[in-house]
Chains A and B, each alone.
Chain A
Amino acid sequence: GAGVSQTPSNKVTEKGKYVELRCDPISGHTALYWYRQSLGQGPEFLIYFQGTGAADDSGLPNDRFFAVRPEGSVSTLKIQRTERGDSAVYLCASSLIGGTGETEAFFGQGTRLTVV
């Protein structure tokens, strides 16, 4: 697609439920990032994929959070046993890898998750 697409745009779920958030990156972008943006804060890193593998998952807050990217394109962020503190905007970004140096990250419009 022309840009990074995230679905759903908004998700309301009950505490304790399981949710999946989807990110469809720009075609050909091998790097994919998930960030979480809590109210009044800047985005915070969750996990980074290079191709199909999670190159860095150090930002995942606990083992209720998991993400996959099985074919090196679409990624799904999965949250088990959701808690009210998980409420936030989840942003996805992709970029083209070209060795070291800067490659611009393009962001989607995020999924606003509300846990009630």
Chain B
Amino acid sequence: AQTVTQSQPEMSVQEAETVTLSCTYDTSESDYYLFWYKQPPSRQMILVIRQEAYKQQNATENRFSVNFQKAAKSFSLKISDSQLGDAAMYFCAYRFPFSGNTPLVFGKGTRLSVIA
């Protein structure tokens, strides 16, 4: 079974600085999708960024980028120019969508605090 591990329960960053959140996963598949979701106190999971495993180029979305190391099964999220609104829980997730619409497998999350 696939597993996702986030080894940092909590992280903090100064406003305008850069922070990196770690994620490792375990799978025997070669093609799959990886995601980072943000969950603010409102509880709604918001997609931050996604990466297709067959793409070598790391995904970027404005201030958010990933470092995808397929061989190491590592998928870290870098947040640049951190803003107060970035404070939230961040979840790394895996999905293998090639046999029906399979569900997301989530890590336990990292709580990010942004210090003004």
Residues of chain A having any CB pair with chain B under 8 Å: 31, 33, 35, 40-45, 48, 50, 55-56, 59, 89, 91, 93, 95, 97, 100-105, 107-110, 112
Residues of chain B having any CB pair with chain A under 8 Å: 4, 33, 42-47, 50, 52, 91, 93, 95, 97-98, 100-109
Q: A42-B107, A42-B108, A102-B50 are in contact. Are A107 and B44 (CB under 8 A)?
A: yes
Rounded to whole angstroms, the CA-CA distance of A112 and B95 in the bound complex is 25
Nearest neighbor of B45 in chain A, beta-carbon distance: A107
Number of A-B residue pairs having CB atoms within 8 Å of each other in the complex: 67
Contact partner, A42, options B42, B43, B95, B109, Cβ 8 Å: B109
Nearest neighbor of A106 in chain B, beta-carbon distance: B47
* Residues of A close to B104: CB separation below 8 A: 33, 35, 43, 45, 93, 105
Nearest neighbor of A34 in chain B, beta-carbon distance: B103
- The answer to whether B101 touches A103, judged by C-beta atoms less than 8 angstroms apart, is yes
Q: A45-B105, A102-B52 are in contact. Are A110 and B44 (CB under 8 A)?
A: yes
Rounded to whole angstroms, the CA-CA distance of A91 and B103 in the bound complex is 13
* Residues of A close to B47: CB separation below 8 A: 104-105
